[in-house]
Chain A
């Protein structure tokens, strides 16, 4: 049964991620009073990309794209998906935080060898933005780890399931609120869509990707969406006992992110950093202090 989890968990993440991609296009369309494409449109797109011709800039270009997808697939194995958690005993949340590095790193390597300044600018923005949201995110994650006195995400979920979800308990409500404030940045949605910025830097790191490269990047994007939302549901909203409830909780978070996405224009990178390092960081910091002082 446990062996099966290793197959089910990435497959489920893939399906959910691609549903999310289709759903978000649909959701945005309805907000803008359009019909929008059918739900399965991203799947059709990905299949079409696979059959199309593409250009390659070298071995690291290929490897980077593959590494980026592999990195996301591995992270999924560490995340509980409503009771399904294949790699529970191998290092926990710290390893997840580190594994989440592999995907952007792979994309950065591919984009670097693409020898296109649009890609380089996109990557430099990606790293700057990541540094921006990692400051509050780490404060939040540390608050959760300190509160439940564990670095294992499965134990954290179990502890929340035994009581109230983290966001409903006192000191952690601040951390949860800060998490919601940075959620669009973590998911790369507007107003933090600075990395790809299609109208400005030709989709940034994706500028040179076509055919199967773009297909892999799309799949990775779907997984990244899954990971970003799943982390919130697990850390703050107590996970779920079965995958279906978990999926519903993820949908709510996604709807929140998309609403913000629809309502705001894109920020400049400095504005984004200034925002991320001001209120979300302050709230997350106060949250962590309170957890350390009274929460244990």
Chain B
């Protein structure tokens, strides 16, 4: 399938979906699923291809180009598959809500725009698709109204700031290179002076950092992710913020080029190390903030910020293992975080919109499938061996340690322990413990929600046991940047890059489980008891009160809360307040009455005449 046709299907599908909602809701739902499936299939068919086509030649005398290759393909594949699963998940989630036609059209439009971003072969079309993506995302974040509107506004303002910086960057590049097509730009920028390279990195970097929620530009993410409709949160967290990762990879290793990027800065503190340190900060602070959250989706949102930190740390570290680890972690995170947001969405759907972690519990009895997929997703997030998150994090740690950055490795490893804590809190407070009486008739998640969740959970496990599948695609990306190959085999990474053998580990764990289970079987059988039949020191179990989930890590919270103030957010909110005051002041002058404006003109003229009479400068 050619690239123009693919994009045309994606964009046109969005429009037709919107029009169809006037005809028949069921027809529209089916069509939306069909379009997203077709796009995913189309992208899959591009595997291994590497070419570019100009789809528009006469725009300002520039050619707008679409291209594909190892890097665009991996991102396009992730975007289209997560997008497709999210549409399927939406079927039940959105039923009976208002403006569903608008919702589906926007969801498909965002997917199409993201495809456009990754398939763009020149900076102008990149910018155009980037803008389409930002605008349509704003519309969906604020879909629910109320607090969602404020969250959307915050996103929008930060996003616009990033886009403006990017526009300046585009102009700057065009003024120097005389072209915006990526090969030409890369040739011109990578040989330019170090100051110019730094300027390009910073200008584009602001736009990508806002999207990727790198500290201190993360402030928009927690409210936006928690207020958006859950299936869209999955897209937002799974792939949309990863456009920032794509942007950084493109910027660092294609436009500026590996050599040009790694040689920036001072000898003792290279520029890419500064970026790595920013990545480390993005890991540690949000991880501990996530620990204190009581809103399921807000907890996941903070966790997204932290995981984006791992990705950013990996790709900016600039070793072949680091870039591979960061890129792989992007993929891993896309899968398990989309899954976890869907879990939160399924719970929200069945409980009538409850996200408060203090008021749930015991759902494992009512939603067993959702619990199992949540467990798998959480294991991926922690990076338990045999899940995809383990392989990607292992690559990052390994390179940090062996390249002599133990402090960065320490931050990354401690971040993982923080992840264990908040992940378990998420799991425990929703699914474990006592089931409140009001949820006794809770029904399991509908099949159209279970299907995408099960697929994602299967991918988490598959990529964990056979990491060679994604690693081969990622190895191709690394080679296209000029890095040494990883020699990825299907079971892991070969000894030259530091052996890890997932199949050995897998076998050991399975045999361990079998032996432990055999020992377990040898004992006398247990009697299955109800939750009311729990140990309470001889007293009857008080219903609805025998649960420990409020303030789950109380001692930790008491110790850490004073240290964990989101200063970046406070700064931006302060800035917004100042700008608001300034605008208020301006409004006092710009009253809207013509009489006042006439007065200003007359006063100004009078002042000019006075000046001329007294000093006669003209």
Q: Contact at B527–A94, with CB atoms within 8 Å?
A: no
B364 proximity list for chain A (CB < 8 A): 58, 60, 113
Q: B615 near A: Cβ within 8 Å?
A: no
When distances are taken between beta carbons in the complex, the residues of chain A under 8 Å from B531 are 57, 115
Contact indicator A101/B420 (Cβ below 8 Å): yes
Cβ–Cβ contact B417 & A128, under 8 A: no
Within 8 A of A (CB), among B474-515: 495, 498-501, 504-505, 508-509, 512-513, 515
Please tell me which one of the listed residues A52, A94, A139, A288 contacts residue B398 in the complex, with CB atoms under 8 A apart. Answer: A94
Chain B residues positioned under 8 Å from A116 (CB to CB): 534-536, 546
* Chain B residue contacts of A53, Cβ below 8 A: 524, 526-527
Checking A55, A95, A98 against B529 with a beta-carbon cut-off of 8 angstroms, the contacting residue is A55
Stretch of B190-198, B403-411, B444-452 at the chain-chain interface: B403-411
Given contacts A127-B420, A208-B534, A212-B523, is CB(A70)–CB(B546) below 8 Å? no
Question: Given A73-B512, A91-B500, A216-B519, A145–B406 Cβ distance below 8 Å?
Answer: yes
A270 to B555 CA separation, bound complex (whole angstroms)? 6
Q: Is B171 an interface residue (CB 8 A)?
A: no
Q: List residues of chain A with CB within 8 A of the CB of B406.
A: 142-143, 145-146, 288, 291-292
Q: Does B325 have its Cβ within 8 Å of any Cβ on chain A?
A: no
Query: What's the nearest-Cβ distance from chain B to residue A275, in Å?
Result: 12
- Known contacts A58-B528, A142-B410, A146-B401: does B428 contact A112 (CB below 8 Å)? yes
Question: Are B499 and A91 touching (Cβ within 8 A)?
Answer: yes
Residues of A within 8 A of B523 (CB): 49-51, 54, 211-212, 215-216
Q: Does B427 interact with chain A (Cβ within 8 Å)? A: yes
B433 contacts A273, CB within 8 Å? no
Q: Which of A116-155 contact B (CB under 8 A)?
A: 116-118, 120-121, 123-125, 127-128, 130-131, 134-135, 138-139, 142-143, 145-146, 149, 151
Q: Which of B378-386, B565-573, B602-610 contacts A (4 or more CB under 8 A)?
A: B378-386
A114:B500 contact, CB within 8 angstroms: no
**Could you tell me the distance between the alpha carbons of A274 and B427 in the complex, rounded to whole angstroms?**
27
Residue in B398, B431, B495, B516 whose Cβ sees the most chain A Cβ within 10 Å: B516
Contact assessment for A117 and B548 in the assembled complex, using a CB-CB cutoff below 8 Å: yes
Complex Cα spacing A32 to B505, Å? 44
Contacting pair A90 B526 (CB below 8 A): no
A274 to B435, CA, bound (A): 35
B306 CB, min distance to chain A CBs, angstroms: 15
B contacts with A, residue count (CB < 8 A):
74
The residue in chain A whose Cβ has the minimal distance to the Cβ of B368 is: A59
For B413, the chain A residues whose CB sits under 8 A away are 97, 134, 138, 142
Which secondary structure dominates chain B's binding surface?
helix
Residue of B nearest to A268 (CB): B555
Q: How far is the CA of A131 from the CA of B418 in the complex (A)?
A: 7
Closest to A219 in B: B519
B402→A151 contact, CB < 8 A: yes
Contact partners of A291 in chain B: CB under 8 A? 406
CB-based nearest B residue for A116:
B534
In the assembly, what is the distance between CA of A91 and CA of B516, in Å? 23
Counting CB contacts under 8 A, is B434 at the interface? yes
Indicate if A23 sits at the interface (CB-CB under 8 A).
Answer: no
Contact A202-B535, Cβ < 8 Å, known A56-B528, A91-B394: yes
A65 near B: Cβ within 8 Å? yes
Do residues B526 and A89 form an inter-chain contact, with CB atoms below 8 A?
A: no
- Given the complex of chains A and B, what is the CA–CA distance between A280 and B556 in angstroms? 18
Residues of A within 8 A of B407 (CB): 288, 292
Q: Which of B504, B535, B555 contacts A207 (CB 8 A)?
A: B535
A20 contacts the other chain (CB 8 A)? no
Interface 0/1 of B529-559, CB less than 8 Å to A: 1010111110000000011110011111011
In the complex, the 8 A-B pairs of residues with the closest C-beta atoms, listed nearest first: A212-B523, A112-B432, A70-B512, A117-B548, A56-B526, A120-B548, A69-B516, A54-B526
Apart from A56-B526, A94-B397, A134-B413, 5 more pairs, CB < 8 Å: A73-B516, A87-B504, A101-B382, A120-B432, A212-B523
- A residues contacting B by CB (< 8 A) are 49-58, 60, 62, 65-67, 69-71, 73-74, 77, 87, 89-91, 94-95, 97-99, 101-102, 105, 108-109, 112-118, 120-121, 123-125, 127-128, 130-131, 134-135, 138-139, 142-143, 145-146, 149, 151, 202, 207-208, 210-213, 215-216, 219, 268-270, 273-274, 288, 291-292, 296
Please name 8 pairs of A and B residues whose Cβ atoms are closer than 8 Å in the assembled complex, sorted by A. A54-B524, A62-B520, A87-B504, A98-B390, A120-B548, A128-B553, A211-B523, A216-B516
